Amino acid sequence: MNKYLDIKDEVKQALKEGKPVVALESTIISHGMPYPKNVETALRVEQTIRENGAVPATIAIIGGRLKVGLTAEDLEYFGKKGPAITKVSRRDIALVAARNQDGATTVAATMIIAAMAGIKVFATGGIGGVHRGAEKTMDISADLDEFVKTPMIVVCAGAKAILDLNLTMEYLETKGVPVFCYKTNELPAFYTKSSGISAPNRADSAQEIADAFNAQQSLGLGGGLLVANPIPDEYSMDPLRINGAIEQALDEMEKAGIHGKETTPYLLDKIQKLTGGESLESNIMLVLNNAKLAAEIASSL
Ligand code: PSU
Ligand code: MN
């Protein structure tokens, strides 16, 4: 086993016995939601995974150790410290490990560490993608390229409309990444059920997704598989309201001259402030919904 990796006993045992395990990321805790809702949500997500028959493994870097499975104290520490924790994507892992620092893992970094531990399924809220204006800024999240390299089923609620969703889908197609939309013919857009963009593939059961991933690996194609699971109807937001907030957040970002890795956390925070508790509540409910589906997929593998 990798000398930097620390797998929590409960997770290690489950993996050894071939029991279903679901990975979770930590940037959503530190940079994606405000304290204390972030910690509360992290605990609820773990609970939901347990209720659905799988073992949760939240992933983060603590003192240079790549942790697979966090304690309640670890979650509190990450949630409270928030954006003061280094946001770690693929390029940052080695540096943070070598310096014995703490790091909150993004989707890309979580995929890498979860795969090192032998985990195959990971639940989150939204993934990074191709940003609006990427033809000038070249801002394309490292999350997308990770699907080329790392075998992992990632369950999300689509991507926020802070991104260019059409370009994001084009990019995934170019990179050869399979995308399944769960029980819908349209790509979900995080806060809303539909984006107006057709689903590349539709899946109607967890088993179908597990079978596709097994075939992908057996065929030697490698890489990850993205599942876009729409937000439940009752929590889907009014598109006009949420898109208005997104436009305003993008405007303010441009004025503030934000770029690089600060972009996504800045936009997430602005949107939350502009829409008040409503978008946060939707965000929490869609993550729980994804945790449930991820546990079902892990059980189907
Ligand atoms: N989108 C969300 N919520 C999040 C993120 C994205 O709706 O919390 C976080 C995830 O950790 C994701 C990261 O992997 O932001 C992407 O950052 P970037 O765009 O800098 O790659
Ligand atoms: Mn970026």
Can you give the residue ranges of every domain in the chain? 5-300
Ligand 1 atom closest to Cα of 33? Answer: 8
Q: CA 209, CA 205: separation in Å to the nearest integer?
A: 7
Q: Which residues have CB atoms below 5 A from the ion given as ligand 2?
A: 139
- The three-point CA angle 127-131-133 to 5° equals 175
Ligand 1, atom 20, residue with closest C-alpha: 261
Q: CA 59, CA 255: separation in Å to the nearest integer?
A: 34
Q: CA 116, CA 110: separation in Å to the nearest integer?
A: 10
pLDDT at 1: 75
DSSP element (H, E) containing 267: helix 263-275
Ligand 1 atom closest to Cα of 104? Answer: 11
pLDDT at 201: 98
Q: CA 127, CA 14: separation in Å to the nearest integer?
A: 27
Asked about 16 being catalytic, the answer comes back as no
Ligand 1 atom closest to Cα of 141? Answer: 21
Substitution site in 29, 107, 261 for ligand 1 pocket (most atoms within 8 Å of beta carbon): 107
pTM score, two decimals?
0.98
Å from CA of 106 to ligand 1 middle: 6
Q: Does the CB atom of residue 107 touch ligand 1 within 6 A?
A: yes
User: Given the structure tokens 């991507």, which residue do they identify?
Assistant: 159
Please report the sign of the dihedral spanned by the C-alpha atoms of residue 161, residue 164, residue 168, residue 169. Answer: positive
Å from CA of 142 to ligand 2 middle: 7
pLDDT at 244: 94
pLDDT at 161: 87
Substitution site in 111, 127, 266, 286 for ligand 1 pocket (most atoms within 8 Å of beta carbon): 127
Q: CA 223, CA 176: separation in Å to the nearest integer?
A: 9
Please, what is the end-to-end C-alpha distance for the chain in angstroms?
Answer: 23
Rounded mean pLDDT for each run of 10 residues along the chain, 301 residues in total: 94 98 98 97 98 98 98 97 98 98 98 98 98 95 98 96 96 98 97 94 98 98 98 95 94 95 94 90 97 98 96
Antiparallel, parallel or unpaired: β 103-105 and 55-62:
antiparallel
Q: Does the CB atom of residue 128 touch ligand 1 within 6 A?
A: yes
pLDDT at 277: 81
CA dihedral of 197, 199, 205, 206, whole degrees rounded to 10:
-90
Structural Rg of the chain based on CA atoms: 18
Catalytic residue among 25, 46, 146, 296: 25
Asked about 281 being catalytic, the answer comes back as no
Contact criterion met (CB below 8 Å) for 273 and 226: no
pLDDT at 276: 81
The architecture in CATH of the region 5-300 reads 3-Layer(aba) Sandwich (3.40)
Contact criterion met (CB below 8 Å) for 224 and 153: yes
